[in-house]
């Protein structure tokens, strides 16, 4: 028994050192002292001596640095070089393009929450808030989405003119070039408010402010290009588009077959060195109305007019619309969401080298330019549009569920509808926290490659779920299209966001963990970079440091994962208040579990993990939900820990943690090396899977919160256009909601009088008159019921059309009438 006590004490001491990540030397000293003390107390000299000898045999070669490097690290370096898959140039560029923010802490297994909480609170400037309250509010009041989507298939001319006049296309362009110079947060806020009214409008504004000529010129353009184009892009004299995708290269942008051959040709009457371009692009937003086209192509110099290299690589150029031979103007029709989008073609079109963004010396730098800018644009545009749509769904569906009655009861009271409302409220809370976090990261100067992929995927996927639930709650009201339908077009447009800027399937299975595992891991990238060091001694030294740091990291995460699992995340110092401390502890546990599973997956599967996309996707899910949950906690702190928001935070947090658990379980169940999977399960789930989805009771609280006015509901619908104007049905519904709630007890009095047989009339208005005469309700109450009845009747009504109104103006095969473009 005494021997067991000594061994147990040694294990506890070692485990404590691993848990707290002490140095190797501290581990040796702490374990040796523990063994000696417990051995003396327990009177187990033999066991004590044996353990000390084993400790010395293990520790001595590890503490003798020169010996360790020569006899351990050098052979392992040789093995590592053989099994490590060589990164392609494009993969290397993608890894080097972004920066690592707090997501690196989440991959560490021991997040420093102080790093998150000390980040400045994202806030709009006075000027940005004024723009949101002024031009953005005015623009939303001009928009009729039915006119845009059904009658014009475009924004009306006055809206185009307003966008240009108020420099909506120049939000990201510095003031020195005539732009607005807004923060990423303001950029996001504008898009959210616009998307709450019209996805066509939001997409039109998003594209010039995302990856495209403006962003690329600011970072890589020559002074001449900046001075010419940026002022014209800012005030709308130039409308940009960016041509990347083609029939044979979508998400795999590095495989574009479009090419340019360096050659001599005539330009403006003079012979010059230029490029002869051939390309076939499609799905290009704003192409039909664009005046300047950003183009990605592969550049070749067979005659070596520019240097010794023949294949220069992906290159970016700017082509004026009037470039001879470039065909542009026809339109795609993306799911009845008629933002300007279409193909661009050219064959053997000659342009001078001055069209290259940044000039001839930037030839072949296109892929680096794209991935460096993509992480910024993708962090804002699609997540913001999705968040705006989700916020609108909260207001619209919450109001409708309180107004619409079935069986004499507001449909929001039915448990099936409650379930959908809870998802709408909880997922919207998570989505807005996520989009806010990525915008804040951009404003801090980060290039959030991994968070932008997380935001793009989860914001658009959750928007799809929210739109589906909102349509279910609205029923026939959401199905019948027409001017009175405020849900249908948003529902139709959801798959567009799922598809663009990296299809969601590819983003989840290849990008989030694929980049995160290397970029966010504290040692993997250092180990890989050590392979490229030319000096052998320095290469071994660097690899040795990273390797043994990695080994200690892995042991620590195994111990932390098991310890936090066996204690159900109830131990450990962490951040937060009395309410949220338990949440931070849960994230500590799953951070350690992610780091452990990621390390084991990379160590056991090696390069094969790259092709195990389903495992990578699940590991990416864990990283994503850790990041989203962290964003929610930061939002909760930044808003002053409002007690009213707790049901929303709790619902969204439990949803994230449950999904983390299921993703890890999926990794372990499907891990191809079963003995390793068994060990992982023991370390990650020592007490089994105990996380559960949000409870029905919690869901009921969330549903109640979004179906009645409150500060929490107002925060959830911030940056939504809710002014009760003639063009804004949702705004008028929101304005009527307090009256709807005030009328409920009066309605019960009316029903009571009806059931008693006192009221004989059949028409509702006559019933109100009778009830007032009988004294069942007062005159003010009659007016309230009448006002609510009239308002609700408008909001639940749907459109109908004459057949001639639904026929296409142009039948296929006929010559369309000529029209002037609005832009």
Q: Which of 372, 446, 461, 501 is catalytic?
A: 501
Q: Among 6, 815, 798, 796, which residue's Cα sits nearest to residue 406?
A: 796
- Residue 200 phi, psi (nearest 5): -65, -45
* 128: annotated active-site residue: no
- To 5 degrees, how large is the angle CA 732–CA 396–CA 439? 110
CB-side neighbour CA atoms (13 Å) of 33: 8
Residue 794 has what DSSP assignment?
H
- Cβ 99 vs Cβ 447: under 8 Å: yes
Whole-angstrom distance, CA of residue 613 vs CA of residue 611: 5
- Output phi, psi for 702, to 5 deg: -65, -45
Q: Which residues on adjacent β-strands are paired with residue 262? A: 275
CB count within 10 Å of CB 168 equals: 24
Cβ pair 799, 481 in contact under 8 A: yes
- The owner of tokens 């990347």 is 244
Dist CA 541 CA 544 (whole Å): 5
Strand extents, DSSP E, 66-162: none
Residue 276 parent element (H or E) = strand 270-285
Return the exposure string of 298-323: e unless at least 16 CB atoms fall within 10 Å of the residue's CB, then b: bbbbeeeebeeeeebbbbbbbbebeb
619 contacts: CB under 8 Å, gap ≥ 6: 513, 517, 594, 597, 598, 601, 663, 667
- What are the residues whose beta carbons fall under 8 Å from the beta carbon of 468, sequence distance 6 or more? 491
Please tell me whether residue 311 adopts helix, strand or coil conformation. strand
Report the C-alpha gap between 5 and 752 in whole angstroms: 76
What residues pair up with 281 in beta bridges, in sequence order?
A: 344
Element (H, E) at 569: none
* Cα–Cα distance, 268 to 280 (Å, whole number): 25
Name the residue among 248, 220, 233, 226 with its Cα closest to residue 316.
220
The string over 440-457, giving b where at least 16 C-beta atoms fall within 10 Å of a residue's C-beta and e elsewhere, is bbbbeebbbbbbbbbbbb
The set of catalytic residues is: 501
């Amino acid at each position: 028994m005494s021997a067991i006590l000594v061994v147990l004490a040694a294990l506890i001491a070692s485990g404590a050192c691993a848990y707290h990540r002490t140095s190797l030397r501290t581990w040796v000293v702490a374990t040796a002292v523990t063994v000696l003390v417990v051995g003396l107390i327990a009177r187990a000299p033999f066991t004590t001596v044996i353990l000390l000898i084993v400790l010395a045999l293990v520790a001595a070669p590890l503490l003798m640095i020169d010996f360790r490097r020569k006899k351990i690290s050098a052979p392992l370096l040789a093995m590592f070089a053989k099994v490590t898959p060589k990164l392609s140039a494009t993969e290397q560029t993608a890894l080097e393009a972004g920066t690592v923010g707090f997501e690196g802490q989440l991959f560490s297994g021991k997040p420093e929450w102080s790093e998150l909480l000390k980040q400045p609170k994202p806030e709009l400037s006075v000027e940005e808030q004024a723009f949101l309250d002024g031009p953005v509010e005015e623009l939303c009041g001009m928009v009729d989405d039915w006119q845009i989507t059904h009658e014009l298939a475009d924004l009306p001319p006055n809206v185009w003119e307003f966008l240009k006049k108020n420099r909506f296309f120049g939000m990201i362009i510095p003031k020195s070039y005539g732009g607005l110079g807004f923060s990423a947060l303001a950029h996001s806020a504008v898009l959210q408010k616009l998307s709450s009214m019209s996805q066509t409008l939001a997409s039109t504004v998003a594209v010039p402010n995302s990856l495209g000529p403006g962003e690329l010129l600011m970072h890589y353009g020559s002074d001449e290009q900046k001075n010419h184009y940026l002022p014209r892009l800012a005030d709308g004299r130039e409308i940009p588009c960016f041509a990347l995708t083609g029939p044979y290269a979508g998400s795999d942008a590095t495989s574009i077959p479009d090419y340019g051959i360096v050659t001599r040709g005539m330009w403006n009457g003079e012979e010059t060195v230029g490029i002869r371009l051939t390309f076939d692009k499609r799905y290009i937003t704003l192409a039909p109305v664009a005046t300047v086209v950003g183009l990605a192509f592969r550049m070749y110099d067979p005659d070596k007019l520019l240097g010794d290299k023949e294949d220069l690589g992906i290159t970016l150029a700017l082509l004026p619309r009037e470039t001879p031979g470039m065909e542009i103007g026809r339109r795609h029709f993306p799911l009845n969401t008629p933002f300007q989008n279409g193909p661009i073609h050219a064959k053997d079109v000659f342009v001078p080298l001055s069209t290259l963004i940044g000039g001839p010396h930037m030839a072949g730098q296109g892929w680096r330019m794209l991935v460096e800018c993509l992480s910024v644009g993708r962090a804002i545009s699609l997540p913001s549009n999705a968040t705006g749509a989700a916020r609108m769904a909260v207001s619209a569906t919450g109001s409708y569920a309180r107004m619409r009655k079935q069986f004499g009861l507001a449909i929001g009271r039915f448990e099936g509808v409650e379930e959908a409302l809870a998802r709408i409220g909880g997922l919207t809370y998570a989505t807005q926290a996520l989009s806010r976090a990525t915008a804040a990261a951009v404003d801090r100067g980060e290039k959030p490659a991994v968070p932008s992929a997380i935001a793009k995927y989860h914001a658009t996927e959750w928007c799809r779920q929210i739109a589906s639930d909102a349509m279910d709650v609205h029923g026939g009201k959401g199905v019948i299209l027409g001017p009175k339908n405020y849900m249908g077009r948003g529902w139709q447009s959801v798959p567009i966001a799922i598809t663009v800027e990296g299809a969601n399937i590819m983003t989840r299975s290849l990008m989030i963990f694929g980049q995160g595992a290397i970029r966010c891991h504290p040692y993997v990238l250092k180990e890989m970079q050590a392979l490229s060091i030319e000096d052998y001694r320095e290469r071994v030294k660097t690899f040795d440091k990273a390797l043994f740091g990695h080994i200690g990291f892995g042991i620590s995460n195994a111990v932390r994962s098991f310890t936090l699992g066996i204690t159900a995340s109830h131990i450990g110092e962490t951040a937060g208040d009395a309410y949220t401390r338990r949440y931070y502890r849960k994230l500590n546990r799953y951070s350690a579990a992610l780091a452990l599973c990621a390390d084991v997956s990379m160590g056991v599967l090696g390069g094969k993990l790259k092709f195990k996309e389903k495992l990578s996707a699940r590991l990416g899910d864990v990283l994503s939900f850790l990041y989203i949950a962290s964003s929610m906690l930061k939002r909760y702190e930044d808003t002053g820990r409002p007690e009213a928001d707790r049901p929303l935070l709790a619902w969204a947090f439990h949803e994230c943690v449950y999904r983390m658990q299921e993703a890890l379980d999926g990794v372990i169940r499907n891990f191809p090396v079963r003995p390793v999977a068994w060990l992982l399960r023991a370390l990650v789930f020592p007490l089994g899977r105990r996380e559960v989805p949000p409870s029905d009771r919690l869901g009921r609280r969330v549903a109640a919160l979004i179906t009645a006015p409150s500060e929490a509901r107002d925060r959830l619908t911030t940056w939504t256009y809710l002014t009760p104007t003639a063009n804004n049905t949702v705004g008028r519904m929101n304005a009527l909601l307090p009256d709807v709630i005030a009328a409920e007890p009066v309605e019960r009095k009316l029903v009571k009088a009806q059931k008693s047989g006192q009221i004989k009339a059949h028409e509702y208005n006559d019933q109100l008159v009778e009830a007032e005469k009988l004294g069942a309700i007062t005159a003010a109450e009659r007016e309230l019921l009448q006002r609510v009845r009239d308002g609700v009747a408008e909001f639940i009504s749907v459109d109908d059309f004459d057949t001639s109104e639904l026929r296409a103006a142009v039948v296929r095969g006929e010559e369309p009438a000529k029209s002037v473009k609005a832009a």
